[in-house]
Structure 1
């Protein structure tokens, strides 16, 4: 049974990028999500990382291997079909624009994710993207994907994410609070059922901890 949200809650969002296997795994658990009208928002993870000055996980060889193993482990643990695409990282821009063109429709977004992460298909090549457009019932998207208004919509999504403080994907934003990562779902459910938890003394204390002086000696 899905958790109910309070009447005065802010508009909830789910920020995702098709480059992220964890975004796929979290969307596959949609039936567990809180009963809220989440808006699915495609964003460019690499653009977000650049804005916050963060390196992508795949730039560190050992982290890249761990990330792929972890995604496979979580998929097996959750019983979710999983197959890596032919290469990773790949260029997700066409798939993201397709999702933007579809206004984040959950059925289309899910089908795109499954094309990439369940079937292990390439969405970035001309042939792969053409097949993807056919798969989701939007063959006309192939000709529209480079339209400036579609690109602008995706850039606006990136701006909206950064303005909300989003630094990675997958991310839920509920009541203007950020919940990041595939394993954040239990926390989202907890806060949906017990919104006053965020007002608890210890939660408030750790949310406003000061940073150590910048000249501190950490050696």
Structure 2
């Protein structure tokens, strides 16, 4: 029997990016369906989050995410542009956000088609993998094609149905909270949350206890 797991995920989360290849590999190796549930980043849900944190928080996070990427052999570079427009010096989130809403809505539109994981995998490699100007030219179009999707179709849906898609994204966030966490990436299996890119092996261990088998 195919097992099901929900993964709560954000385009601005470096740790979501670092986990995504392994989620893809799990779905290929095991009889497992991973449902990608897109949420808006903390910068949208709580714009003052970064200003309230300890002064060392941001610096340590940058150091750690690049260290993890190097350890795992995953290409990583600061996103250019950042999906969230933010003054890094003051940590203030800009009122105008030209990227994250359309990105997340297109991701949710991809999830409607059962291709959320594929879309997240391809697009996150552009954003976090060192592609400067990932939002320009045909970068996103080609990423969507690799995911088996049509970017124009996703973009049109994001433009025509923002309220409906945002309602689904909000429902994803509520489901994440109901499952017992608030951050991303979080894999939820059988109502048990596994938060972070460093808890994937633990989640696999639990799923094997519940009958996870190789394909």
- Indicate the SS of the match to 1:190: helix
Following superposition, the deviation at residue 139 of structure 1 comes to 2.0
Tell me if structure 1 keeps the 8 A contact 2:81–2:132.
no
Report the counterpart of residue 104 of structure 2 in structure 1.
Answer: 96
Distance 1:12 1:20 in 2: 19
Unaligned runs of 5+ in 1: 1-6, 197-219
Tell me if structure 2 keeps the 8 A contact 1:170–1:181.
yes
Kindly tell me: are residues 88 and 108 of structure 1, through their superposed partners in 2, closer, same or farther at Cα, counting changes over 3 Å? closer
Following superposition, the deviation at residue 114 of structure 1 comes to 0.9
Report the counterpart of residue 205 of structure 2 in structure 1.
Answer: 190
Tell me if structure 2 keeps the 8 A contact 1:12–1:37.
yes
Report the counterpart of residue 144 of structure 1 in structure 2.
Answer: 157
Following superposition, the deviation at residue 65 of structure 1 comes to 1.2
Report the counterpart of residue 134 of structure 1 in structure 2.
Answer: 141
- Indicate the SS of the match to 1:150: helix
Kindly tell me: are residues 122 and 160 of structure 1, through their superposed partners in 2, closer, same or farther at Cα, counting changes over 3 Å? farther
Q: For 1:60-79, list aligned pairs within 5 A.
A: 60-79=54-73
TM-score, normalised relative to structure 2: 0.71
Distance 2:72 2:181 in 1: 26
Following superposition, the deviation at residue 84 of structure 1 comes to 1.6
Report the counterpart of residue 11 of structure 2 in structure 1.
Answer: 18
Kindly tell me: are residues 116 and 43 of structure 1, through their superposed partners in 2, closer, same or farther at Cα, counting changes over 3 Å? same
Distance 2:201 2:106 in 1: 30
Distance 1:15 1:122 in 2: 26
Tell me if structure 1 keeps the 8 A contact 2:5–2:190.
yes
Following superposition, the deviation at residue 151 of structure 1 comes to 2.1
Deviates more, 1:133-142 or 1:147-156: 133-142
Distance 2:132 2:78 in 1: 8
Report the counterpart of residue 118 of structure 1 in structure 2.
Answer: 129
Following superposition, the deviation at residue 57 of structure 1 comes to 8.7
- Cα displacement string for residues 75-121 of structure 1 (whole angstroms, at most 9, x for unaligned residues): 11011111120365715322111110111612222111111111344
Distance 1:192 1:57 in 2: 38
Report the counterpart of residue 27 of structure 1 in structure 2.
Answer: 20
Q: For 1:44-59, list aligned pairs within 5 A.
A: 44-46=40-42, 50=46, 55-56=49-50, 59=53
1:83 aligns with 2:77: yes
- The alignment's C-alpha RMSD in Å is 3.2
TM-score, normalised relative to structure 1: 0.70
Distance 1:86 1:172 in 2: 27
Tell me if structure 2 keeps the 8 A contact 1:48–1:167.
no
Kindly tell me: are residues 18 and 159 of structure 1, through their superposed partners in 2, closer, same or farther at Cα, counting changes over 3 Å? same
Report the counterpart of residue 43 of structure 1 in structure 2.
Answer: 39
Tell me if structure 2 keeps the 8 A contact 1:48–1:162.
no
